[in-house]
Chain A
Amino acid sequence: MSKYTEDDLREELKTKEYEYGFYTDIESDTFPIGLNEDIVRAISKKKDEPEWMTQWRLEAFKVWKEMKEPDWANVHYTKPDFQAIAYYSAPTSVDPNKTLDDVDPDLLAMYKKLGISVDEQKKMNNIAMDIVVDSVSVATTFKKTLAEKGIIFMPISEAIQEHPELVKKYLGTIVPTKDNFYAALNSAVFSDGSFCYIPKGVKCPMELSTYFRINQAGTGQFERTLVIADEGSYVSYLEGCTAPSRDENQLHAAVVELIALDDAEIKYSTVQNWYPGNAEGKGGVYNFVTKRGLCEKNAKISWTQVETGSAVTWKYPSCVLKGDNSVGEFYSIAVTNNFQQADTGTKMIHLGKNTKSTIISKGISAGKSQNSYRGLVQVSSRAENARNFSQCDSLLMGNECGAHTFPYIEAKNKTAQIEHEATTSKIGEDQIFYCNQRGIDTEKAIALIVNGFSKDVLNKLPMEFAVEAQKLLEISLEGSVG
């Protein structure tokens, strides 16, 4: 692994396009690069994991070794060399027993730069927050308040120790280790992530939030998130991601599993702003993520995502609508600029009767980027009266970018009602001149038009997040119209 020098830092500071592209010089404990059984064991040992967990990882590793990286997505990139990545990096100054007040001031300064001053968050937003830097959870706020309601919200590494029965029961049940190449990899090497359990009938009184950040060079980040909403419960969960600007590509392969038991509801919102690479297409995060939720009877899962970052995105948050009357929703804004490539969408698997799904996807492409929506609506033969509505809108800026839509429909029950609408539009010079004439400059005009285009999805985000998402949209599209 190459050492990060001051020259690199200076270089980095020059790439001002990416607001979050700073690197925090905290001491860290990084494994040697490469992946083999020993590394998997070492990760497990580092975490002091029980034997069942170690075995689970090793099995996943075995499965992964036999798998091939998928290439059906509409993205083109040099495949990562999985033996050139360090699979574990933890800031050494972190002690899991510390409270937030004891956290390394450098780390806290970093959160400030991220615009997520934890103190502020605590006071103002009523958001309980877990922050994962590189691979380790740094602090979980609000633990006590949540504990009073019986809500468990902690790093998954802690949950493995403290609530092994829950983890054992659900981990890998929604996204099995052999589900796909990246999920298998994640299962073998995940180092941390968040765990959340909402007991029966409990409405979680605050937004739960995780902030992910890749800091160390040459490392991969593999978080694992598991959210279980027990019968009749409700939770809204937020996830934010950033990474410093670097010349080489960084790998991020996360797995998120959601379980909504009977009558439960989970809202899962993501604002993804991994480093997208520079204007020439150098660097940037490869974001290969598997997210899936299971709905039991009358349960509901909503995925809302705002994807502005990453050089390559491969991501399909999905819902398995197993229980009768269950509901799945997917609301997405995906922005690509410069040389970014995104292949994202959802799968709605209708298994139960009267199941309903809604898909609203807004793709915004600028520069030389490629933006694809890929969605599957599947209705099984038992799923009487399943309904789906899908809407996929694309907005193009300039002539060099691409927008693509790949909707797949497989209906095996003839009572299914499936509607699909798609539009493609372009930001017109006339629209911009109209705004200019009213005194609104071009940058602001684009932001306004893009916000209008994305409104249906932005409205689905919790307030605090919607504002951040709007700002991000603005930043990501800066300079995209000459």
Chain B
Amino acid sequence: MLKINNLHASVEEKSILKGINLEVKAGEVHAIMGPNGSGKSTLASVIAGKEEYEVTAGNILLENEDIEELAAEERAHKGVFLSFQYPVEIPGVSVTNFIKTAINANRKAKGLEDMPANEMLKLIRSKSEMLEIDRKFLSRSLNQGFSGGEKKRNEIFQMAMLEPKLAILDETDSGLDIDALRIVANGVNKLKSKDNAVILITHYQRLLDYIKPDFVHVLYNGKIVKSGTAALAHELEEKGYDWIKEEVNA
């Protein structure tokens, strides 16, 4: 599904990713953990194709295709989805209108007609029910005045609507209370299949209690410095990151 080879990336001449290697196969869940500022969100943005980040070495293969030259929307059309750590506000554009536009843009890229309105409504209804999203919420302006939890739930709603091949969830758990966390995790689990993959960026073990990762990686100072199974996440929960920093700096 996704193969990252020796990826180096920088922004404004500042080098942030310094040789990332990662392989994610269909059907897998990978967790990426690591202290603040280590480059987790940058990695997510680079995979998604944010232009301000410059790839200085290495490459990213999506289903064996180098996506270097693809614009962000083209990567999205190929099934890359990023749940943002900080989703932006778009005043005056309702949650419904936004997702409708997104769905139809993706269909257009595949040469399909717009989704018929009744089908769209049905889909919106079923996905919002699954995530226990209130009808009124759907007509609010995108992310405007949303609580942290509402923003994250809305991201997962969009994911559920778009059914991506590769979902990258950047700290989707922060800002969620325990009930919301369960609902969101449940949504992610429902999406999971043998044909798609999930990358969870998180600080906390608690999300991983709900979504079981196959692999856990620690990102530190722009590199993956340790990889392991779910047990590694428990270890990090107990001991923090200092011992890893020491190991790296030793």
B102 and A439 form a contact (CB under 8 A) = yes
Report how many residues on chain A are interfacial, defined by Cβ distance under 8 Å: 24
Contact of A438 (CB < 8 Å), options: B49, B71, B89, B158? B158
A131-139, A221-229, A452-460 - the one binding chain B: A452-460
In the complex, A467 has a CB within 8 A of chain B = no
B105 and A438 form a contact (CB under 8 A) = yes
Give the A-B contact count at a CB cut-off of 8 A: 75
Contact of B105 (CB < 8 Å), options: A430, A441, A451, A454? A441
In the complex, B162 has a CB within 8 A of chain A = yes
Instruction: Give the chain B neighbours of A444 by CB distance below 8 A.
Output: 101, 105
B88 and A441 form a contact (CB under 8 A) = no
Contact of A428 (CB < 8 Å), options: B73, B81, B88, B101? B88
Tell me whether chain A's interface is mostly helix, strand or loop, or mixed.
Answer: helix
Contacts A433-B50, A444-B101, A448-B101; A439 near B92 (Cβ below 8 A): no
In the complex, A434 has a CB within 8 A of chain B = yes
Contacts A441-B105, A444-B105, A448-B101; A436 near B93 (Cβ below 8 A): no
Binary CB contact string for chain B from 134 to 158 against chain A (1 if under 8 A, 0 otherwise): 0000000110000000000000001
Contact of B87 (CB < 8 Å), options: A434, A451, A452? A434
B105 and A453 form a contact (CB under 8 A) = no
A439 and B76 form a contact (CB under 8 A) = yes
Contact of B90 (CB < 8 Å), options: A429, A449, A454, A456? A449
Contact of A454 (CB < 8 Å), options: B51, B88, B92? B92
In the complex, B84 has a CB within 8 A of chain A = yes
Instruction: Give the chain B neighbours of A455 by CB distance below 8 A.
Output: 92-93
Tell me whether chain B's interface is mostly helix, strand or loop, or mixed.
Answer: mixed
A448 and B98 form a contact (CB under 8 A) = yes
Q: Which of B32-67 contact A (CB under 8 A)?
A: 48-52
Instruction: Give the chain A neighbours of B91 by CB distance below 8 A.
Output: 425, 452-453
Size range of the chain B interface in the assembly: 20 to 34
Contacts A441-B105, A448-B98; A436 near B76 (Cβ below 8 A): yes
Binary CB contact string for chain A from 402 to 443 against chain B (1 if under 8 A, 0 otherwise): 000000000000000000000001001111011111111110
- Considering the chains assembled together, what is the distance between the CA atoms of A434 and B170 in angstroms? 14
- Considering the chains assembled together, what is the distance between the CA atoms of A359 and B242 in angstroms? 59
Instruction: Give the chain B neighbours of A448 by CB distance below 8 A.
Output: 90, 93, 97-98, 101
| A351 smallest CB distance to B (angstroms) | 34
B141 and A439 form a contact (CB under 8 A) = no
In the complex, B72 has a CB within 8 A of chain A = yes
| B154 smallest CB distance to A (angstroms) | 12
A439 and B73 form a contact (CB under 8 A) = yes
Contacts A439-B106, A448-B93, A452-B93; A434 near B88 (Cβ below 8 A): yes
B92 and A437 form a contact (CB under 8 A) = no
A439 and B162 form a contact (CB under 8 A) = yes
Binary CB contact string for chain A from 369 to 384 against chain B (1 if under 8 A, 0 otherwise): 0000000000000000
Most chain B beta-carbon contacts within 10 A, residue among A428, A433, A444, A449: A433
Instruction: Give the chain B neighbours of A435 by CB distance below 8 A.
Output: 90, 102
- Considering the chains assembled together, what is the distance between the CA atoms of A433 and B75 in angstroms? 12
Most chain B beta-carbon contacts within 10 A, residue among A425, A440, A456: A440
Interface contacts beyond A436-B72, A438-B98: sample of 9 additional A-B pairs, CB < 8 Å, sorted by A: A425-B91, A430-B88, A434-B84, A439-B106, A439-B162, A440-B101, A444-B105, A449-B90, A452-B91
A interface vs B, CB < 8 Å? Answer: 425, 428-431, 433-442, 444, 448-449, 451-456
Mind listing 7 A-B residue pairs with CB under 8 Å? A430-B88, A438-B162, A439-B105, A442-B73, A444-B101, A451-B93, A452-B141
